[in-house]
Amino acid sequence: NPIKALDYLDKGGKYLDEAVKLDSKNPAIRLLRLENGIEVSRTSPVKRYSVVADDVDFLMETDMTGWDGVLKAEVYLFCGYFQTDAGDLDTALDLFDSAIEAAPNSEPGKSAQKMIDKYPALSQVLRTVPSKSSSSSGKSILAEYCLSLRNAT
């Protein structure tokens, strides 16, 4: 029953939100909500991007010194997915590079490499475009094109 499934998605999101509320400084809970929010937003009518944007900010500001490389790669990968979906492909590609650097042979590292491989020529173009302030319209056009490629696959 689709209505019941949407209700479960909503309830699950509320449980994760409550967990973050109870322990807002816990990176594991933030990462869990981010992963869930990205997958739910991509695969259902329920969109949690506005909620998980806070998790992306939190995780990117967290000192990951001493963390396992695979865990770092997972954080970078899902923050990269968020940035891809938000249309900031330049930042997403940098995050995917960081995921690969953190743990190249891990599942998150391999997934990040697949994302970079989707846009080989465009990633080179994006990386040669000067600052956002001087050419934001060019980046926007390229980002829209890249998103259309991602959605086509």
CA distance 50 to 64: 24
User: In the predicted model, is pLDDT for residue 131 greater than 70?
Assistant: no
* Confidence bin at 135 (pLDDT 50/70/90): very low
Q: What is the pLDDT of residues 17-30, one digit of tens each?
A: 999 999 999 999 99
Residue among 43, 31, 145 at smallest CA distance from 89:
145
d(CA 75, CA 80): 8
Residue 132 has pLDDT above 50, yes or no: no
Q: 101: closest CA among 134, 70, 56, 133?
A: 70
Q: Which two tokens stand for residue 104?
A: 């190249």
Extract the tokens encoding 85: 């979906």
Q: How far apart, in whole angstroms, are the C-alpha atoms of residue 80 and residue 112?
A: 8
* Predicted confidence (pLDDT) per residue in 29-56, tens digit: 999 999 999 999 999 888 999 999 999 9
Higher-scoring residue by pLDDT: 65, 130: 65
